[in-house]
Amino acid sequence: MFRPSIQSGPFSRYHQILFWPLEVTHEGTGYDIGEIAGRISNRRGEPTPGTNAGPWARIPETLDRGTADEHSQYAEFVYFHPFVQRFLYRDPGRAKAAHDSEHRGLELLHRTDVGRVRVSLDMGRGNPAVEETLDVNRVHLYLFRTQVAILVVEVSADRQIERESVLALENQLRRAYPPYWDDRGKDGAPCYVGGQCPRKVEWLDRHGVPVAGLPVSNYEDAASLISRVRGSLRPPIADHWQALLPAIGSEMAFEHIEDDRNAGNGIPAVSRGRSALTRRFDAPLLLRWSGPSREPAV
């Protein structure tokens, strides 16, 4: 059995899927995910007039999300028990019924303007940052009737990528906010870097141009983030993550519900000769960060 080693050398390609779980707070008396999805999208996927929702569009069939072929869709559907199927997938017989919103378990939307992401990775004190530009395969927003939402961002590099970059991406790209700061200033002048965070993250369109309305990350802005915590007693979500979410109205809001580390599934691929192992592995890969770490133990 071939057991790929990652002790040295680059990977042949890389995928990472990030999951940002959120609570949808609602001050009203009714919670209709169909109405919310309609509020933040329209048929053409263009910005809704009078909002900053951005180009979000609905995906009417949650089984066909554009992420897999029909065989994989079939395997996904039959994997679940029928009661889960009824929650996740809309019954075509009810799709046009007036009471469909009562039975709908979730709504799925996708953002159409983000095509790439440019990440400046922090490689530790005294080392230059490493810049990687990745494709953004999808930005999906799942709205559940239980007032839970999940933002899914999938990125990839369909090219050779260094092991050190993959290790840093696994640790840094998922950070919703810095857990602490590292002062790398000289001669008494502070220069803060977000701990365990990239130096900079920037959302781009498919041509590599920064997306209008989406700011760059602000992990290094200690004064601003500390002020947000003091003013709201809520986690200070980094600007580039917060702006990726759509506006959903003054009576509703997305609330962060975990710590600074969004869940992620990293999938590096290694090659043996001319065959790239991209779909499955003979053995799990264990990635270890070999650089210095100041992450506090909890």
Is 32 contained in some domain?
A: yes
Residue 24: give the domain boundaries. 13-60+95-277
More confident residue, 266 or 251: 266
Q: What DSSP state is assigned to residue 236?
A: -
Task: Give the predicted TM-score (pTM) of the model.
Answer: 0.83
Counting the structural domains of the chain, the total is 1
pLDDT (0 to 100) of residue 275: 40
What pLDDT is stored for residue 92 in this prediction?
Answer: 67
Judge whether 104 lies within some domain: yes
Q: Tell me, yes or no, whether 178 lies in a domain.
A: yes
Please tell me the distance from the alpha carbon of residue 163 to that of residue 280, in angstroms, as a whole number. 19
Does the residue 8 lie in any domain? Answer: no
pLDDT at 69: 87
Contact 255, 9 (CB under 8 A): no
pLDDT in tens, 30-83: 788 988 898 888 644 444 454 444 589 999 888 888 788 899 999 999 999 999
| Structural domain contains residue 5 | no
Instruction: Indicate if the pLDDT at residue 138 is higher than 70.
Output: yes
pLDDT digits over 171-182, tens only? Answer: 999 999 999 999
C-alpha–C-alpha distance, residues 142 and 88, integer Å: 10
Asked whether 106 and 32 are in contact (CB, 8 A), the reply is: no
Query: 236 in a domain, yes or no?
Result: yes
Pair of tokens at residue 203: 């959302």
- Residue 24: inside a domain, yes or no? yes
As a whole number of angstroms, the distance between CA 105 and CA 88 comes to 6
Q: How far apart are the C-alpha atoms of 107 and 200, rounded to whole Å?
A: 32
Residue 234 domain flag: yes
Mean pLDDT value across the chain: 84
